[in-house]
């Protein structure tokens, strides 16, 4: 398939866009990446996703597919000859879908404003984020069954759904000088994060923490100096 048949509208730093890019790379599918400016959304984006007006949007043969987790499943179903993203067992699929929904609906929304708070407020936010990570730490051995990734030998649906946030987690660590993923509190996740970053489908897509921090710096409220 020529690149012209498959376009991805996105931004380089959106974890939701990163998800879809990792999925396409995992399947070795070529696509045209169209960088959107969120301050001036293109006509193409507004037409392709009139309800949410958000990236990512995958446009395949002129048909738009919206919402990152739906796009990831679409990619898995269309390019079914490549490595499987969702597990084959219905229960394993349900478990991975559960945690992916948890991350999108509970965990990631609680990041909101992480760069704007300090002191007690920041401590409370960090504690909430850590609680979520402990749940994922406990889920890791059950999902991975002794293998290197949530998806087993290969990265899968939950690896991609969670791993796309790793850049943000590292930025949270830099801002608040805390440790979110480390070998003491979340040993499984610490090892998994290193393996995920190094995966060929992920390399070059997941921003390096310092680059993401520099990008986000204008939106970070400096700590009060007293």
> What are the residues binding a second copy (CB under 8 A)?
51, 60, 63, 65-67, 70-71, 73-74, 77-78, 90-91, 93-94, 97-98, 101-102, 135
74 vs 215, beta carbon nearer a second copy: 74
Taking the complex as a whole, the smallest distance from the CB of residue 61 to a second copy amounts, in Å, to 9
54 vs 170, beta carbon nearer a second copy: 54
- In total, the chain counts a number of residues equal to 226
Neighbours of 89 (CB within 10 A): 9
5 vs 98, beta carbon nearer a second copy: 98
65 vs 189, beta carbon nearer a second copy: 65
SS3 32: strand
Taking the complex as a whole, the smallest distance from the CB of residue 60 to a second copy amounts, in Å, to 8
The owner of tokens 């043969």 is: 61
The owner of tokens 């069954």 is: 145
Distance (Å, rounded) from C-alpha 187 to C-alpha 221? 31
94-112 in b/e form (b: 16+ CB < 10 A) is ebbbebbebbbeebbeebe
Taking the complex as a whole, the smallest distance from the CB of residue 143 to a second copy amounts, in Å, to 14
The owner of tokens 């890791």 is: 140
Taking the complex as a whole, the smallest distance from the CB of residue 214 to a second copy amounts, in Å, to 32
């Amino acid at each position: 398939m020529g690149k012209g048949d498959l376009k991805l509208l996105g931004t380089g730093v959106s974890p939701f866009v990163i998800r879809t890019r990792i999925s396409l790379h995992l399947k070795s599918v070529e696509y045209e990446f169209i960088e959107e400016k969120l301050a001036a959304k293109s006509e193409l984006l507004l037409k392709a996703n009139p309800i949410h007006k958000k990236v990512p949007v995958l446009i395949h043969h002129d048909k738009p597919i919206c919402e990152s987790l739906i796009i990831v499943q679409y990619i898995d179903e269309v390019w079914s000859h490549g490595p499987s993203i969702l597990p084959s067992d219905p229960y394993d699929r349900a478990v991975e879908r559960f945690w992916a929904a948890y991350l999108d609906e509970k965990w990631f929304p609680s990041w909101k404003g992480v760069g704007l708070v300090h002191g007690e407020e920041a401590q409370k936010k960090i504690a909430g984020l850590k609680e979520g990570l402990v749940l994922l730490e406990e889920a890791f051995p059950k999902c991975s069954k002794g293998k290197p990734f949530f998806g087993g030998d290969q990265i899968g649906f939950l690896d991609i759904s969670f791993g796309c946030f790793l850049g943000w987690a590292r930025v949270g660590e830099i801002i608040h000088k805390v440790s979110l993923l480390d070998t003491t509190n979340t040993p499984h996740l610490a090892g998994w994060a290193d393996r995920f970053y190094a995966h060929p489908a992920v390399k070059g897509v997941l921003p390096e923490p310092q680059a993401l921090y520099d990008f986000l710096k204008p939106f970070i409220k400096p700590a009060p100096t007293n």
